[in-house]
Amino acid sequence: MLMRILTLLLLMLLTTLQYRLWVSEDGFREVWRLEDRVEAQAAENRHLKDQNDQLNAEVEDLKSGFSALEERARSDLGMVGSDENFYLFGTAVADPKE
């Protein structure tokens, strides 16, 4: 009789622990959810690292080379070199009354 009660108690304990492992909020479902979040964060980190590497390469290029600085000044600021002529061709028709 004692053996049956002990077996029944152990079986109930095993069932309770299995329930907590598979169904509860702290079980495998939470582990799988956290693994998905870790993978998503790792992908975002790789993307941001690539962006940082690209920006660092651009900074190094601007620090070391005059041609990159000149290109940046031309494209962003519209600057013209001292030995160059700037021509602006308009496409709109001029109003003779002005």
Q: Give the pLDDT confidence of 12-58 residue by residue, as tens digits.
A: 999 888 888 888 777 888 888 999 999 999 999 999 999 999 999 98
- pTM (global) more than 0.85: no
Alpha carbon separation from 14 to 18, 24, 26, 81 (Å, rounded):
6, 15, 17, 82
Residue pair 79/73 in contact (Cβ under 8 Å)? The answer is yes
Report d(CA 1, CA 88) in Å as an integer: 104
Contacts (Cβ under 8 Å, ≥6 apart) of 94: none
